[in-house]
Amino acid sequence: MALVNEHLLKLPDNYLFADLAKRINSYKITHPKAEIINLGIGDVTRPIPQVCIDAMHKAIDDQTNPLTFHGYSPGQGYNFLIDAIIKNDYASRGINLERSEIFINDGAKTDSGNFGEILRHDNSIGVTDPIYPAYIDSNVSCGRAGTLDDGYKWSNVIYMPCTPENNFIPPIPQQRVDIVYLCFPNNPTGTALSKSELRKWVNYALENDTIILFDAAYEAYIQQPDIPHSIYEIKGAKKVAVEFRSFSKTAGFTGIRCGYTVVPKEVTASTLNGKRISLNRLWLQRQCTKFNGASYISQRGAEAIYTPEGKQQVKYIIDYYMENAYIMKKGLSDTGLEVYGGENAPYLWIKAPNQLSSWKFFDKLLYEAQIVCTPGIGFGPSGNEFIRLTSFGDKEKCKEGINRIKRII
Amino acid sequence: MALVNEHLLKLPDNYLFADLAKRINSYKITHPKAEIINLGIGDVTRPIPQVCIDAMHKAIDDQTNPLTFHGYSPGQGYNFLIDAIIKNDYASRGINLERSEIFINDGAKTDSGNFGEILRHDNSIGVTDPIYPAYIDSNVSCGRAGTLDDGYKWSNVIYMPCTPENNFIPPIPQQRVDIVYLCFPNNPTGTALSKSELRKWVNYALENDTIILFDAAYEAYIQQPDIPHSIYEIKGAKKVAVEFRSFSKTAGFTGIRCGYTVVPKEVTASTLNGKRISLNRLWLQRQCTKFNGASYISQRGAEAIYTPEGKQQVKYIIDYYMENAYIMKKGLSDTGLEVYGGENAPYLWIKAPNQLSSWKFFDKLLYEAQIVCTPGIGFGPSGNEFIRLTSFGDKEKCKEGINRIKRII
């Protein structure tokens, strides 16, 4: 008989977001007239830049004529987009990349989830705590994460707690770790790493033969000059780091689907016999087998982001969200709440008052202020006294939401 | 140190298509004036239906306004598309499916490649020979295929030869097999399975607790009434089969990226302890972890295929390609070549004359007629005396190509 991959059965049935939706629904049923404001929303809400709209209309028209028709994309993506990425996101920061080091995809979640496939199932992994849950879940399915011991911690995962006490800077582990996930600016804490802090991680990886999987999906939100936008701004990173980028939060592409992964040719891992293998080669093989390229329409849309008008329009969107973040952070701080993040990221990480757990604070906000947030425990054990708010909503709703919270704190 | 997944290193470096491109290039360099006609092209060339173009323009305009903006798609896809699929592709054939049994994706290759993740790494697999290579390659990467023994056969794969002698009907294996890949209408042979032949497979699967992964990407090309479009036309199939569908070859969506997978809730596989687990549940868990939904634009485009105008426009495209197939098959048969397929599929499978190997016949066609084909050996050991032609090209080029072949046979 066919057998299932039992590792997948270890994933708890109740996902955070399913649980959350259930609680909101039961509130709605008992309070049908309540006007709920969702400040926990993980998706963008602003229209995408007009240059992208125009470029995608044009790309669709290309599909009406055999002479301009575009079928399967080249596996790693079209050079028009790859060249724009290299020039604008990397060369402008002094980073040299070859075309074949960029892999265009349908979104960062896909690649950051699938990337583990090219690495052995028994590598050790290290994650910041709190963390975007998909990183761990994708390791559960191949057995790499071990077992879920107490409902929140996986036996083979090394957690690096990020707390107010360490300014949300993940502590370098005492032991060596094979693969480390870093996401900065961070989801959910909204905090960022300075160049000197990130350098410590690159040096650790160089010394310990560690692969860093670096998620830079929120780099467009960085406001301060000393925060690196790419891990390759750090010397030596091209030997140890893979970088995931996304247009989802940069240009509102969550419904368009386009992102990219950088796999420098110098990044290697080892066979059991000690032979070094380029991860670029392995990732290309994996993608050739299981991926058929990103949409031509989406790639043309993404290309437009890099035009002068595109950059201006993206900045306008980012500024909108960051103004929301400023308003939210100021308003909540005024109540005496401890509020972190929100300065280089669209996320605010808020300590629950009076030792409330994250679910208790969630309930309080929902029942007393009709505000939806995301309970921190969903992002890991260190999140149990926190909630996450995002600045992705409508400005007026953000303002009203914060005023409601002010009234109950 | 981080270790690589060494299974991936078993994949031969020289892919068929890379090898093919190399030979074509070296011909072009030595014969710069030659006008090559590619009859091996695996991609569509006709514009996509106007209804899809219109729908996608509208979908893009939706993204310009916060009130109509669409961010992340629901994980399994939008109900507008799922409902159109259920109504048109299934209910119309007497097949009842629930919304939650349909998973919209960015293309059938992605899902057919990834689906193996939810099954144990040591299940046995059976494949038709010849076969679309990605099915096997995706099993190599998790170790399920074993080792490549003689350059063409994997040690843990059960090959079911499809030859002229058995009318390209895969023989039911003597032993039991855990997972069987079937693609009908078939790529590369262009042949189809009648209802009674497919019924034998479903019955085999029911008796042997086998999972059938059924690729129906070419169902739109079926012309004869006794050929099933879906495996669920066979009684009992909902207990044993997963079906992969694609809009790529139906409506020219290779550059748009949209397809879907049907995972009926009744399909189960077992844990080591004998507990039955629904694959629908496992696949949902896998997708939640590693996929963020298909493009809203592409889903709106796909929805339009199911309108009355859409159906008519799709039929026009299919008729165009099938007329090419008819012209090609007739022309080649007239030369005395053995030509198979091309009646319910866009593929022709042609026996190389005079016991030539597929690469030798490839070279002959390229050097003597400036025609590009795909050597059958790339699809498995049984393909070594065959080549594949496709009807995806321009009609005039198809005609000229066949005339050129006629002159050299």
Read off the pLDDT band of A42 (50, 70, 90): confident
Torsion sign (Cα): B163, B165, B169, B170:
negative
- Percent helix, strand, coil in chain A (nearest 5)? 45, 15, 40
Who among B65, B118, B210 is closest to A47 (CB)?
B65
Tens of pLDDT, residue by residue over A192-215, are 999 999 999 999 999 999 999 999
Q: What is the pLDDT of residue B151?
A: 75
Reading across the β-sheet that carries A386-390, which strands appear in turn?
A339-341, A347-351, A386-390, A374-375
What SS3 state is found at B105?
Answer: strand
Query: Look-up: residue for tokens 């790693």?
Result: A76
Residues paired with residue B340 on neighbouring β-strands, in sequence order: B349
* Whole-angstrom distance, CA of residue B271 vs CA of residue B252: 40
pLDDT in tens, chain B (409 residues): 899 999 999 988 766 777 888 899 999 999 999 999 999 988 999 999 999 999 999 999 999 999 999 999 999 999 999 999 999 999 999 999 999 999 999 999 999 999 999 999 999 999 999 999 999 999 999 999 999 987 779 999 999 999 999 999 999 999 999 999 999 999 999 999 999 999 999 999 999 999 999 999 999 999 999 999 999 999 999 999 999 999 999 999 999 999 999 999 999 999 999 999 999 999 999 999 999 999 999 999 999 999 999 999 999 999 999 999 999 999 999 999 999 999 999 999 999 999 999 999 999 999 999 999 999 999 999 999 999 999 999 999 999 999 999 999 9
Supply B390's token pair: 């496709």
What SS3 state is found at A157?
Answer: strand
Strand B102-105 versus strand B37-38 pairing type: unpaired
Residue of A41, A63, A118, A239 for testing the chain B interface, max B β-carbons within 10 Å: A63
B378: left (phi over 0), alpha (psi -120 to 50) or beta: alpha
Query: Look-up: residue for tokens 């790499």?
Result: A144
CB contact under 8 Å between B288 and A46, yes or no, is: no
Q: Which chain A residues are Cβ-neighbours of B294 within 8 angstroms?
A: 106, 257
User: Percent of chain A beyond pLDDT 70?
Assistant: 99
Residues paired with residue A262 on neighbouring β-strands, in sequence order: A102, A243
* Whole-angstrom distance, CA of residue A276 vs CA of residue B4: 9
* CA–centroid distance for B207 within its chain: 26
Q: Which of B291, B318, B14 is nearest to A113 (CA)?
A: B291
Q: What is the pLDDT of residue A15?
A: 67
* Whole-angstrom distance, CA of residue A243 vs CA of residue A246: 10
Contact A298, A42 (CB under 8 A): no
CA dihedral A249→A17→B103→A254, nearest 10 degrees, is -10
Query: Look-up: residue for tokens 């724009």?
Result: A84
Supply B271's token pair: 């844990």
Cα B294 to Cα A160, A254, B76, B144, distances in angstroms: 33, 10, 9, 28
* Whole-angstrom distance, CA of residue B310 vs CA of residue B84: 12
* Whole-angstrom distance, CA of residue B70 vs CA of residue B80: 13
Supply A405's token pair: 């919270």
Tens of pLDDT, residue by residue over A339-379, are 999 999 999 999 999 999 999 999 999 999 999 999 999 99
Buried b (16+ CB within 10 A) or exposed e, B350-363: bbbeeebebbebbe
Buried b (16+ CB within 10 A) or exposed e, B154-184: beebbbbbbbeeeebbbeebeebbbbbbbbb
- Over residues A383-392, the mean pLDDT reads 97
- Over residues A12-36, the mean pLDDT reads 87
Read off the pLDDT band of A302 (50, 70, 90): very high
* CA–centroid distance for A250 within its chain: 11
What SS3 state is found at A340?
Answer: strand
Q: What is the DSSP letter of A374?
A: E
* Whole-angstrom distance, CA of residue A27 vs CA of residue A366: 8
Find the angle CA(A404)-CA(A36)-CA(A336) to the nearest 5 degrees. 25
Measured in angstroms, the CA of A25 and the nearest CA of chain B are apart by 17
Please give the backbone phi and psi of residue B18, each rounded to the nearest 5 degrees, phi first.
Answer: -70, -45
Find the angle CA(B27)-CA(A73)-CA(A57) to the nearest 5 degrees. 130
CB burial class (10 A; 0-12, 13-18, 19+) of residue B403?
exposed
CB contact under 8 Å between A295 and B296, yes or no, is: no
* Whole-angstrom distance, CA of residue B390 vs CA of residue B381: 20
Nearest chain A residue to B272, by CA: A3
pTM of the model: 0.97
Q: Is the pLDDT of residue A286 over 90?
A: yes
Who among A1, A48, A64 is closest to B178 (CB)?
A1
Query: Look-up: residue for tokens 């909540």?
Result: A332
Q: What is the pLDDT of residue B14?
A: 61
Contact B36, B30 (CB under 8 A): no
DSSP labels, B369-405: H-EE-EEGGGG-GGGTTEEEEES-S-HHHHHHHHHHH
Count of CB atoms situated within 10 Å of the CB of B315:
13
Q: What is the DSSP letter of B87?
A: I
Nearest chain B residue to A124, by CA: B2
Tens of pLDDT, residue by residue over B31-62, are 999 999 999 988 999 999 999 999 999 999 99
Complex ipTM more than 0.95, yes or no: yes
Tens of pLDDT, residue by residue over A99-122, are 999 999 999 999 999 999 999 999
* Whole-angstrom distance, CA of residue B400 vs CA of residue B39: 10
Read off the pLDDT band of A14 (50, 70, 90): low
Who among B4, B44, B295 is closest to A71 (CB)?
B44
A185 cis-preceded (ω within 30 degrees of 0): yes
Cα maximum dimension of chain A:
67
CB contact under 8 Å between A255 and B178, yes or no, is: no
Q: Which of B159, B141, B140 is nearest to B379 (CA)?
A: B159
Q: What is the pLDDT of residue A218?
A: 98
Supply A52's token pair: 């992208």
Who among A6, A56, A292 is closest to B107 (CB)?
A292
CB contact under 8 Å between A118 and B5, yes or no, is: yes
Who among A53, A134, A290 is closest to B60 (CB)?
A53
- Over residues A280-307, the mean pLDDT reads 96
Nearest chain B residue to A74, by CA: B255
Q: What is the DSSP letter of A355?
A: G
Supply A71's token pair: 């079928």
Radius of gyration of chain A (CA): 21
Q: What is the pLDDT of residue A87?
A: 98
Q: What is the DSSP letter of B209?
A: T
Find the angle CA(A258)-CA(B247)-CA(B219) to the nearest 5 degrees. 155
Q: What is the pLDDT of residue A374?
A: 96
Q: How many CB pairs under 8 A join A and B?
A: 267
